[in-house]
């Protein structure tokens, strides 16, 4: 079965650079979520999209932005990177409604900011 | 406010022992879902189970079983006859209808199964 695809899997950036993370949800899933997991921490919700519209926002820095495109893939754009942005970034997708609220996670993008 | 507490930071057991991972949640919503995910050293999050707030039936899947009790706001996870491959971080998570279904994770329990 098709899973959530994230690219790149690993990314190394310098401070103050920008990064773009991509997410391709499971086909026919209508909702995408982004989470950030710092070292030794639990995943923290950043932002979500339902049918290409932002549906919720968590503790996402103003330096970050995201969108969902017409083909349902999503991108997380991160600017002015800081050392503290080093983390594992997960994208998840789900099909909301009819009891199908389970989120399926991609393998994550591991971002290291030097 | 919604919250998930996993009081056990790390548990070590010897292979073939049974182990229970605790999860306590707080929510004001009447419609909510509870989940367990496994995060092995490779880093991915693997879905294990979902329970909705209207279904308190316990579930068993192979060596895994889950005990959901609304009266104590707990959703505990038991591994029977643990194996080395069970070594991972296990997260309990809560999502609410009123919260657009985003996940609130507990801090995780690191399980080490020793051979």
Instruction: Give the tens place of pLDDT for each residue, B17-66.
Output: 999 999 999 999 988 999 999 999 999 999 999 998 988 888 888 999 99
Structure tokens at B36: 């367990």
- Chain B interface mutation, best of A42, A46, A59, highest count of B Cβ atoms under 10 Å: A42
Q: What angle do CA B90, B110, A31 make, to 5 degrees?
A: 30
Taking residues B74-99, what's their average pLDDT?
A: 94
Closest C-alpha among A44, A4, A36, A37 to residue A22: A4
Rounded CA separation B60/B77 (Å): 10
Asked if the C-beta of A6 comes within 8 angstroms of chain B's C-beta atoms, the answer is no
Sorting pLDDT into bands at 50, 70 and 90, what band is A98?
low
Question: What does pLDDT average to over chain A?
Answer: 94
Please give the pLDDT value at position A67. Answer: 96
Structure tokens at B63: 């060596």
Asked if the C-beta of A86 comes within 8 angstroms of chain B's C-beta atoms, the answer is no
Residue partners of B45: CB distance under 8 A and separation at least 6: A43, A90, A92, A105, A108, B37, B38, B39, B91
Please give the pLDDT value at position A2. Answer: 83
Taking residues B77-98, what's their average pLDDT?
A: 94
Sorting pLDDT into bands at 50, 70 and 90, what band is A100?
low
Sorting pLDDT into bands at 50, 70 and 90, what band is A1?
confident
3-class secondary-structure state, position B44: coil
Rounded CA separation A113/A85 (Å): 7
Sorting pLDDT into bands at 50, 70 and 90, what band is A99?
low
Rounded CA separation B105/B100 (Å): 15
pLDDT in tens, A16-67: 999 999 999 999 898 999 999 999 999 999 999 998 999 999 989 999 999 9
Please give the pLDDT value at position A58. Answer: 93
Asked if the C-beta of A22 comes within 8 angstroms of chain B's C-beta atoms, the answer is no
**Among the partner residues A41, A48, A107, nearest to B44 by beta-carbon distance:** A107
Structure tokens at A27: 């086909």
Percentage of chain A surpassing pLDDT 90?
Answer: 86
């Amino acid at each position: 079965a098709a899973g959530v695809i994230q690219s790149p899997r690993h990314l190394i950036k310098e401070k103050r650079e920008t990064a773009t993370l991509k997410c391709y949800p499971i086909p026919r899933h209508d909702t995408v979520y982004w989470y950030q997991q710092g070292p030794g921490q639990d995943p923290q919700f950043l932002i979500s999209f339902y049918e290409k519209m932002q549906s919720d926002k968590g503790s996402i820095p103003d330096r970050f932005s995201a969108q969902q495109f017409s083909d349902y893939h999503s991108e997380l754009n991160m600017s002015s990177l800081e050392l503290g942005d080093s983390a594992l970034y997960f994208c998840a997708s789900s099909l909301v409604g009819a009891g199908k609220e389970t989120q399926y996670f991609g393998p994550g993008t591991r971002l290291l900011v030097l | 406010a919604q919250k998930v507490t996993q009081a056990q930071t790390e548990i070590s057991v010897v292979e073939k022992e049974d182990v229970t991972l605790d999860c306590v949640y707080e929510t004001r919503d009447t419609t909510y879902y509870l989940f367990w995910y496994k995060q092995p050293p490779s880093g991915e999050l693997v879905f294990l189970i979902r329970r909705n707030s209207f279904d308190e039936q316990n579930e068993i899947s192979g060596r895994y079983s889950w005990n959901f009790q609304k009266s104590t706001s707990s959703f505990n996870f038991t591994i029977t006859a643990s194996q080395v491959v069970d070594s991972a971080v296990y997260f309990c998570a809560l999502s609410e209808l009123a919260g657009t279904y985003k996940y609130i994770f507990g801090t995780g329990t690191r399980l080490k199964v020793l051979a």
